[in-house]
Structure 1
Amino acid sequence: MEMQKDSFLISEEIEVNIQKLFQYFHSSDDVRSRAFTLHGLRGSLLYLTTITDAGKLQSDILRPLLDAGEGRLEDVLPILDIEKVTDLRAAAEGMLQGKCAILLQQRADIILVDASARVVNSVGEPQNEQTVRGSHVGFVDDVYINGQLVHQRLKNVNLVERHFTLGSESPTDVKLLYMCDIADMTVVDEIIANLLTNQATFIKSSGQITDRLESSHLSPFPQLLFTERPDTTVSHLMEGRIVLLVDGSSFATILPVTFFMFFQAADDFNVRWWNGTFFRFLRLISVMIGIALPSVYISIVSNHFDVLPIDLVFSLKASLENIPFNPLMEAMFMITVLELLREAAIRLPKSIAATLSIVGGLVIGSEVVNANLVSTTMIVVISLTAVASFSVPSHEMRLAIRLISFPIMIASSLLGFAGIAFSFCLLFMHLSKLETFGVPYFYPFTPFEPRRILTTLVQLPRRIFRRKASDRRAS
């Protein structure tokens, strides 16, 4: 304990203090130093580039120090917020607040001067991850501002940044963030090696970088989680995951991931646990609806009419009486039309997209029924499927669900319920086998851990969660 206390004491040798502060921040790439001379004594400025205003450092701190004549160090600086600390830990904590540490040879204290950068006014609201009670601050296309947003919410010396420049023709800045005390350093080294050994001459988009990090390119499921929310990014960092920020992208890439991470929303942690649990179950049910509902309908109409009540059979037969196509062709046609409307709504200006979505959906939906191209029951089934897919928070998982539904519909048309069962067996086998950087994708079901299943599916109260966590540590 005495040795640990001694490691935070300020030495008279300035180089020793600088080295200890660099070690305290685990030699993170955003820790910088600038040497100067004041009254014949060597000095140095230490600061974090991510949360420090470079203009304020230059004009309010460095220039007065270089132009100083006689006088104390505290009197030279034209800044009100000046603090003296007598140990290196307090200096590091001040640097995490955006302050600049001024070290001077033969001084037993360190001066902390406020030089923090504020970027709240230059950021926007997340467009794809809306929340009711959470933060309304989202990432932007500038990787340095995104780094500041993360550091403002996570003031911890264990947060380490690694900077990379990819692309020889047009350099693109990339930041890798992780908590060195809880992140898997094997995964960190693997990601760094992947980034450095697979460089392209020109980076067209952030997807060109992130696609190389996927473990299985043949899998339809996303193996990277994208978020435009700094608070969500910080929560993943505190759970030991790794974050990749790419210049020109307003999304942070989270890895490694598991299947159930794609169904958690920011509002789950801002409402009462009953509501959070209900909506999380609702999203998981919506996945089953999005994948299986069209297939179940096709299977019933094609092979298993006997499972329906007799009254429902008559009404269903009446709706299919004048339809010239089989149920599989109906479903394929309506899903294609729905995808066309969705794609057109994305590409058009917002003022026109809303009109297209409403008018186009109503007109096409009513007219295809009047033309006896599609049954009314199929319209209801496809509409429920679309609404269910919209409730999934992750855009990449929504695309995967829609893609997986096509082969299952074909199997249900050929083999009925047996085709659906066989398709789901293959699906669960694939999920159980898939890994992302050595982490099982279908965890905690594969490998099976009953204790973790409860916390994955249920948003437990914080008091119960802390008690369970302490019980696990005790065991």
Structure 2
Amino acid sequence: METEQDSFLISDEMETNIRNLFQCFHSSDDVRSRDFTLHGSQGSLLYLTTVTDTDKLQANILRPLLQAKEGRLEDVLPILDIEVVTDLKAAAAGMLQGKCAILLQQRADIVLVDASANLVHSVGEPQNEQTVRGSHVGFVDDITINAQLIHQRLKNANLVERHFTLGSESPTNVTLLYMCDVADMNVVDEIIANLLTNQATFIKSPGQITDRLESSHFSIFPQMLFTERPDSTVAHLMEGRVALMVDGSSFATILPVTFFMFFQAADDFNVRWWNGTFFRFLRFISVMIGIALPSVYIAIVSNHFDVLPIDLVFSLKASLENVPFNPFMEAMFMIIVLELLREAAIRLPKSISSTLSIVGGLVIGSEVVNANLVSTTMIVVISLTAVASFSVPSHEMRLAIRLISFPIMIASSLMGFVGISFSFSLLFMHLSKLETFGVPYFYPFMPFKPKRILSTLIQLPKRIFGGKASDRRAS
């Protein structure tokens, strides 16, 4: 019976070595082979498409091998970096660095020749996930370059790629990446089955593919995390999650996810744990401000003036004296104006969007107060709400927070604090029930895991809270 140690030994049979090398990479789709004949002996080239330069491979390795009349294999190749290894584990490690493995029949060693690819393409900086001390390299629209960026940071044979082509009229390349030793294979199989069974004739956008993978289409919360950072993608892969990349998109889709993943930023892990903990708590506070601050203001002004100090009551009465609308109408008017300005700033060219921000913030904000359309206190409340929502790292979660605030505002205007309490009860019930590919969305609060709550809320130092990547995955 063949042991695991024996599987790393090189055999005299070339087909056995090729089969064992494929097994080292778990039959990943980016492992390719090319057969050739040298001096009457059968040979084969094995390489990884994501880290190997195919032009260099063809010109400097394959062509000299096919044209060679005589001489040793090492003397035929016009390359300086040539290494001979005697076990499959070393061969696999070399292939992860962009080397090509050359196998010959009846030869009990493997020749590694450098054919690594260099990213000559311009790799841009992430626009939506900027960092101070972290990496400034972001994904691009080319799925091949994105895969190379991941392999540059994660040189591990357990990283598996699965390639798919979706859309019969206009084929679109899709790549699924996961670590086979820590990822939940049930989740991987479910994602693959979903991709293969929900084919479309034409893929209009990457969102058309990711929408199929949502567990609950009626939930307002995002059920997938989108990132344009290769380092963040690698971190999620090492924690057992799955990354989905679509050709033509500069974002990687991470799944399954939990609610608290959307409030982690790359800078949290590049600064001291005190600073990371402080800013993480600040984001949690900003969520509560973004959801509840307008509703609390409406409830106080409409139904609960008695909870305020008497001096503040007089100040609010003075600001509301000449305003013809109730607080709910004020808040709706200001939020709609804010959303219109934000949408216009996104759609306009960058040279004009900065001017629009100045006009919207100064001119419109001051003139609506002078026209007695809204109170000065409402301007402060809506401004704080907008700033708080913008501090959330995830764009999808920011949109969800803004949408959630509308029904809570309606409940607060009708029932005051009772309406807010009832709304938050329904909100937590929904979060506790929601799942993404079998993973509880509100983990570790539901199911309740006290040991995991501390590491979720606080960025603890490694000496205090360590552990393997498999222990930290969301499962």
Is the structural similarity TM-score above 0.5?
yes
C-alpha distance in 1 between matches for 2:55 and 2:369: 65
Aligned-CA RMSD value: 1.5
Matches within 5 A, 1:16-35: 16-35=16-35
Which residue matches 2:289?
289
Q: Is the 8 A contact 2:431 2:442 kept in 1?
A: yes
Once the two structures are overlaid, the 10-residue window that deviates more, 350-359 or 269-278, is 350-359
Distance 1:263 1:311, change over 3 A: same
1-side partners of 2:163 and 2:12: how far apart? 32
SS at match of 1:405: helix
1:108, distance to aligned residue in structure 2 (A): 1.4
Q: Report the equivalent of 2:267.
A: 267
Matched, 1:357 2:354: no
> Matched residue of 1:254: which SS?
strand
1:119 is matched with: 119
Q: Distance in 1 between matches of 2:179 and 2:109?
A: 29
Shift of 1:4: 2.6
Tell me the SS of whatever aligns to 1:464.
coil
For 2:165 and 2:469, how far apart are their aligned partners in 1? 40
Q: Partner of 1:354: helix, strand, or coil? A: helix
Partner of 2:80: 80
For 2:242 and 2:424, locate their aligned partners in 1 and report how far apart those are by CA, in whole Å: 31
1:163 match: secondary structure? strand
The residue that corresponds to 2:159 in the other structure is: 159
Letter in 2 for 1:220: I
d(CA) in 1 for partners of 2:219 and 2:471?
37
2:103 maps to what in 1?
103
Aligned residue for 2:298?
298
1:359 Cα deviation from its structure 2 partner: 2.0
Structure 1, residues 196-234: CA drift from partner, whole Å, max 9, x if none?
Answer: 000100000000000000000100000000000000000
**Secondary structure of the corresponding residue to residue 137 of structure 1:** coil
User: Shift in Å at residue 468 of structure 1?
Assistant: 9.9
Amino acid at match of 1:298: I
Give the counterpart letter for 2:161 in structure 1.
E
2:333 & 2:469 partners in 1: Cα distance? 50
How many residues were matched structurally?
A: 472
Q: 1:453-464 to 2 correspondence within 5 Å?
A: 453-464=453-464
**Partner Cα separation in structure 2 for residue 110 and residue 240 of structure 1:** 32
Deviation of 1:122 after TM superposition, in Å, equals 2.3
**1:249 and 2:244 equivalent?**
no
Question: Unaligned stretches of 5+ in structure 1?
Answer: none
Percent identity at matched positions?
87
Residue equivalent to 1:310: 310
Of 121-130 and 22-31, more deviation after overlay is shown by: 121-130
Structure 1 counterpart of 2:200, which letter?
A: A
Partner Cα separation in structure 2 for residue 104 and residue 202 of structure 1: 44
- Alpha-carbon offset, residue 2 of structure 1: 9.0
Paired residues of 2:179 and 2:240 also in contact (CA < 8 A): yes
When normalised by structure 1's length, the TM-score is 0.98
Q: Judge which range, 421-430 or 76-85, deviates more.
A: 76-85
Q: Which amino acid aligns with 1:16?
A: T
* TM-score scaled by length of structure 2: 0.98
- Please report how far the alpha carbon of residue 121 of structure 1 lies from its aligned counterpart in structure 2 after TM superposition: 4.6
Amino acid at match of 1:295: S
Identify the residue that residue 54 of structure 1 maps to in structure 2. Answer: 54
Moved over 6 A (4+): 467-472
2:123 maps to a residue whose letter is V
Q: Distance in 2 between matches of 1:160 and 1:322?
A: 66
1:47-74 Cα deviation digits (max 9, x unpaired) = 0011111111111111111111111111
Measured in 1, the distance between the counterparts of 2:245 and 2:139 equals: 10
- C-alpha distance in structure 1 between counterparts of 2:120 and 2:36, whole Å: 32
Shift of residue 5 of structure 1?
2.3
| SS state at 1:174 partner | strand
Shift of 1:120: 6.2
Q: Which residue type is aligned with residue 335 of structure 1?
A: I
Range 328-337 or range 104-113, more displaced: 104-113
Counterpart amino acid of residue 79 in structure 1: I
The 8 Å contact of residues 100 and 113 in structure 2, kept in 1 or not, is answered as yes
Q: For 2:35, give the aligned amino acid.
A: A
Residue 368 (structure 2) aligns with: 368
1:40 aligns with 2:40: yes
Q: What residue is the counterpart of 2:180 in the other structure?
A: 180
